């Protein structure tokens, strides 16, 4: 089945710097890709849903890139601020009839002032 | 936005006892999911449920686990009997369709002692 590796496991950056998290998946049939943010004691907040047809996706304060050739999905936090401190998870779905989301291992991001 | 509610937020139970975790999904959602997250680790898929049936389950969904949503009420995860390794945070999620945005609850922290 699908395997999703996420790196790095921890990331410490200063406010204003950028931070990049990369996920590598194995199933070439994967079609939907997601980035979630989890703050302490909270559920998952969807940051962005990406379809396999779109390689560059801009959000508020971040960019998501999809490289289908290398089966990689990346989240680039631009100009990080303390509010970005959280655990970030990528998730991948083959997108057929209620298939489950398979999550990456998570990246703990700490942004210091 | 739409909210998935999980009750209770924390439950402590003796090993060997039965526990039922309750989830109140978003009202017009039809697909329901349970995920397990051991402290500090990734979110792992347990099961998804649609039209009164389990559609897909992972190896983590042991024989001691069961799910149901009787008469459109709570979507429940029952563990009978519980084991120490069942201690984790269990997240419920729901979506309108198989490939639409999945909304997560804040989780129920289950501690088996």
3-state secondary structure A26-62: CCCCCCEEEEEEECCCCCEEEEEEEECCCCEEECCCE
Does residue A1 sit in helix, strand or coil? coil
- Answer yes or no: is pLDDT of A97 > 60: no
Q: Which residues, in sequence order, are CB contacts of B30 under 8 Å at separation 6+?
A: B50, B51, B95, B96, B97
Question: Is residue A52 within 8 angstroms of chain B, CB to CB?
Answer: no
Q: Which two tokens stand for residue A20?
A: 């990049």
What does DSSP say about strands B53-57 and B43-50: parallel, antiparallel, or unpaired? antiparallel
**Cβ under 8 Å to A: B residues 1-60:** 4, 31, 33, 35, 41-45, 48, 50, 55-56, 58
Bond into B81 cis (ω within 30): yes
Helix (H), strand (E) at residue A90: strand A86-93
Q: What residues of A are in contact with residue B50 (Cβ under 8 Å)?
A: 98
Question: Is residue B96 within 8 angstroms of chain A, CB to CB?
Answer: no
pLDDT 10s digits, B5-24: 999 999 999 999 999 999 99
pLDDT lower than 50: segments of chain B: none
pLDDT of residue A53: 66
- Residue of A86 and A102 predicted with greater confidence: A86
User: Which letter does DSSP use for residue A14 in this model?
Assistant: E
Report chain A's mean pLDDT, rounded to a whole number.
Answer: 87
Give which of A101, A102, A104, A107 to mutate to test B binding, by max B Cβ within 10 Å: A101
Tell me if B31 sits within 8 A of B94, measured CB to CB: yes
Q: Which residues, in sequence order, are CB contacts of B54 under 8 Å at separation 6+?
A: B47, B48, B67
Flag if A43 and B106 touch (Cβ within 8 Å): yes
Q: What residues of B are in contact with residue A34 (Cβ under 8 Å)?
A: 102
Flag if B43 and A89 touch (Cβ within 8 Å): yes
Residue that is written with structure tokens 């017009």 in the block: B28
pLDDT 10s digits, A24-66: 999 888 878 899 999 887 778 888 888 776 677 787 888 999 9
Does residue A108 sit in helix, strand or coil? strand
Tell me if A6 sits within 8 A of A66, measured CB to CB: no
Distance CA A28, CA A26 (A): 6
Query: Among candidates A22, A27, A35, A46, which has minimal Cα distance to A94?
Result: A27
């Amino acid at each position: 089945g699908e395997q999703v590796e996420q790196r790095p496991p921890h990331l410490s950056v200063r406010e204003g710097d950028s931070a990049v998290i990369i996920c590598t998946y194995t199933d070439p049939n994967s079609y939907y890709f997601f980035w979630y943010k989890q703050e302490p004691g909270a559920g998952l907040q969807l940051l962005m849903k990406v379809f396999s047809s779109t390689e560059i996706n801009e959000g508020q304060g971040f960019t998501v890139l999809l490289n289908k050739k290398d089966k990689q999905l990346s989240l680039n936090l631009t100009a990080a601020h303390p509010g970005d401190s959280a655990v970030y998870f990528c998730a991948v779905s083959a997108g057929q009839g209620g298939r489950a989301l398979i999550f990456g291992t998570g990246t703990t991001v700490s942004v210091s002032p | 936005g739409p909210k998935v509610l999980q009750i209770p937020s924390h439950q402590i139970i003796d090993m060997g006892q039965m526990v039922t975790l309750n989830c109140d999904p978003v009202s017009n959602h039809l697909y329901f999911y349970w995920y397990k997250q051991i402290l500090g680790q990734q979110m792992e898929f347990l099961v998804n449920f649609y039209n009164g049936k389990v559609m897909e389950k992972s190896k983590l969904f042991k024989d001691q686990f069961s799910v149901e949503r009787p008469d459109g009420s709570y979507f429940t995860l029952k563990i009978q009997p519980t084991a120490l390794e069942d201690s984790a945070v269990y997240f419920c999620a729901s979506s309108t369709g198989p490939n639409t945005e999945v909304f997560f609850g804040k989780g129920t922290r289950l501690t088996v002692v």
